[in-house]
């Protein structure tokens, strides 16, 4: 094949692929200030924070937040603000940057399919736990979950817990910690709590940022309860004898 024929073939291939490349770019999301709509499942997850940003089990502060688990891998189109940010092809998790009222509004939709609208930006600090984050979040569509049977949930969750023997020693941080009957935000009367600084022994950790812990109740008898992992800092070790 002479040089002219080879060049003609390459040009033909390029022209054939161009429409597909254009469609791919058009389907990709843009970074802020453009708005983006993302669909997926609203989840509650925990990541390690300071001081090491490595492992909550060894003493890093637990950072519990809401995340969108995408129904399809994320595709991003760069702009002048985020031109250097690379997003892996299989990225399917987006951290949501929320205000306290946003948590209240979205909580009924946990573990449910939703469509969210907001602006996207790339991770900058260790407190950003996904490659791309969404801020100014608004609920576009979704159906709130059914009422939770806390007793039934408490029985079922044992199959999905990560257990520790010996238990992990921890203490309550960030104010008083409500006591939960099961690992779900609705499973508390908000009448009983453990005070900040209370020592606890964590025997298991469940998905979604929940720990099963024991503490010394009335008369020193051990009481087993569920706690929000966001308020329990852990360290390795056995239960005190």
What confidence tens digit (pLDDT) does each residue in 41-54 have? 999 999 999 999 99
How many residues are given for the chain?
Answer: 241
Higher pLDDT, 25 or 155: 155
Return the CATH number of the domain spanning residue range 31-142. Answer: 2.40.50
Q: Could you identify the residue written with the tokens 């009983």?
A: 192
Q: Report the alpha-carbon distance of residue 182 to residue 161 in Å, rounded.
A: 12
pTM of the shown model: 0.82
Please write the tens of the pLDDT for every residue from 196-235: 999 999 999 999 999 999 999 888 889 999 999 999 999 8
% of the chain exceeding 70 in pLDDT: 83
Q: Which two tokens stand for residue 154?
A: 């408490």
Q: What backbone phi and psi angles, to 5 degrees, belong to 147? A: -55, 140
What is the architecture, at CATH level 2, of domain 150-235? Answer: Roll (2.30)
Strand partners, 107: none
Q: Report the alpha-carbon distance of residue 165 to residue 234 in Å, rounded.
A: 14
The strand ranges marked E within 49-172 are 62-70, 76-77, 93-96, 113-122, 132-142, 162-172
């Amino acid at each position: 094949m002479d040089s002219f024929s080879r060049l003609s073939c390459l040009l033909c291939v390029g022209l054939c692929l161009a429409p597909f490349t254009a469609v791919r770019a058009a389907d990709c999301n843009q970074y802020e200030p453009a708005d983006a709509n993302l669909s997926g499942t609203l989840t509650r997850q925990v990541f390690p924070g300071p001081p090491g940003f490595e492992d909550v089990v060894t003493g890093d502060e637990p950072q519990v937040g809401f995340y969108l688990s995408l129904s399809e891998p994320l595709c991003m189109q760069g702009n002048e603000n985020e031109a250097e940010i690379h997003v892996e092809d299989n990225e399917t998790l987006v951290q949501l940057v929320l205000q306290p009222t946003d948590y209240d509004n979205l909580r009924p939709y946990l573990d449910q399919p939703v469509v969210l609208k907001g602006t996207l930006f790339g991770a900058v600090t260790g407190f950003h736990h996904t490659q791309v984050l969404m801020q100014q979040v608004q609920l576009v569509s979704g159906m709130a979950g059914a009422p939770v049977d806390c007793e039934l949930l408490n029985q079922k969750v044992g199959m999905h817990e990560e257990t520790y023997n010996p238990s992990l020693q921890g203490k309550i941080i960030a104010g008083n910690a409500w006591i939960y009957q099961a690992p779900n935000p609705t499973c508390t009367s908000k009448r009983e709590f453990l005070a900040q600084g209370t020592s606890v022994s964590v025997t298991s950790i469940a998905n979604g940022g929940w720990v099963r812990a024991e503490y010394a109740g009335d008369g020193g008898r051990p009481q087993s309860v569920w706690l929000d992992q966001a308020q329990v800092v852990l360290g390795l070790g056995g239960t005190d004898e």
